[in-house]
Structure 1
Amino acid sequence: MTASASDPTAQVTRIRRADANDAGALALVGAATFLETFAGILAGDAIVEHCRVQHAPGVYAEWLADANVAAWLAETEGAAPVGYALIAPPKLALPDLSERDLELKRIYLLSRFHGGGVGRELMDQAVAQARARDARRLLLGVYRGNARALAFYARNGFRQVGERRFQVGERFYDDVVLALELQA
């Protein structure tokens, strides 16, 4: 994957399947993008604690050791991690949840790489894997106030199928649950 030379996304040279050795890279990108996205929305101490727990390398190591989980890592020419996507069996409270559903647990990309097709390519990898696994739907949860993410998901065919509450620190936030129908 390459973009124009004047575009920072030109530095992204590959998206590859992540393996057990990539837990630290996924954790780093996860924490960095969470901070980048939610600084000014969430309290700083809550962000730091959330990232310490939810984006710990051990969390990613467990996911990458699970045969039901698949992840892809976007890297620059110098192999610096800048984004990733991760799918897994769903953990969402939906009344019609099926064992044939999959969840896009995370799709994160550093903001300077937005707009160059890297996010789309990560999404394409996740959707292709969900289809290969004969998934009925690809689900995800996203903060209701994240307009950029909501627009990205809408452009990729996702529609709202539910809501949930998301806790960071002492506060709760509203998420929407979206689905991409893969099969009727």
Structure 2
Amino acid sequence: MSPTDPAVLADLHAQAFSAPWNATAFADLLAQPGVFAVAEADGFILIRLVLDEAEILTLAVRPAARRAGLGGRLVGQGAVQAAQGGARRLFLEVAEDNAAARALYARAGFRSLGRRKAYYAAPDGGRIDALVLGLDLAANPNTAPLP
């Protein structure tokens, strides 16, 4: 199996998130124009490119492989591929309470653009705001994988 096989992506996503996407969801996304994955054995990033904008749909790293630079590499490689595809800006939403992800994106140069109130479901049944972040790829055309 390839690292971008929908079943492999679904397995990694299930290890990384409490509400994972299944293999069918990944197959459907990857079949859409402009959607691509950058994957390694322990993680992946899924990005949608439309005209001159790209969006990180999800980033998953196996828990045992976290804090070793893989997330940063995936973000960097995904940003490079999006820029090569014509994207001038890269966006994402991140849960306000996800400090590790917010730190990762800040190190990659993402800036806060706004907030989506009650965007994510919380495990306790409540709702969590999403922060909308963006990276200007046109200003950073040689975006490289982070260390």
TM-score scaled by structure 2? 0.83
Match of 1:166 in 2: 119
Hey, which of these two has a bigger chunk of helix by percent? 1
Equivalent pair of 1:87/1:104 in contact (CA under 8 Å):
yes
Deviations along 1:157-180, whole A, 9 cap, x unmatched? 001001113242753210101001
**3-state DSSP class of the match of 2:24?**
helix
1:1-184 correspondence to structure 2 within 5 Å: 18=4, 22-35=5-18, 50-51=19-20, 55-75=21-41, 82-89=42-49, 99-164=51-116, 165-168=118-121, 171-183=126-138
Give the structure with higher Rg (CA).
1
Q: Is the 8 A contact 2:3 2:40 kept in 1?
A: no
Give the secondary-structure state (helix, strand or coil) at the position aligned to 1:183: coil
SS in 1 for 2:34: coil
Instruction: Structure 2: state its 5+ residue gaps.
Output: 140-147
Unaligned ranges ≥5, structure 1 = 1-15, 36-49, 76-81, 91-98
Task: Report the secondary structure of 2:138's partner residue.
Answer: coil
Conservation of the 8 A alpha-carbon contact between 1:104 and 1:138 = yes
Matched pairs, number? 135
Cα deviations by residue, 1:117-150 (Å, 9 ceiling, x for unpaired): 2112211221111110121210010000111111
2:95–2:120 Cα contact (<8 Å) kept? no
Q: How high is the sequence identity, in percent, across the aligned residues?
A: 33
Aligned-residue RMSD, C-alpha: 1.9
Where does structure 1 differ by over 6 angstroms across 4 or more consecutive aligned residues?
none
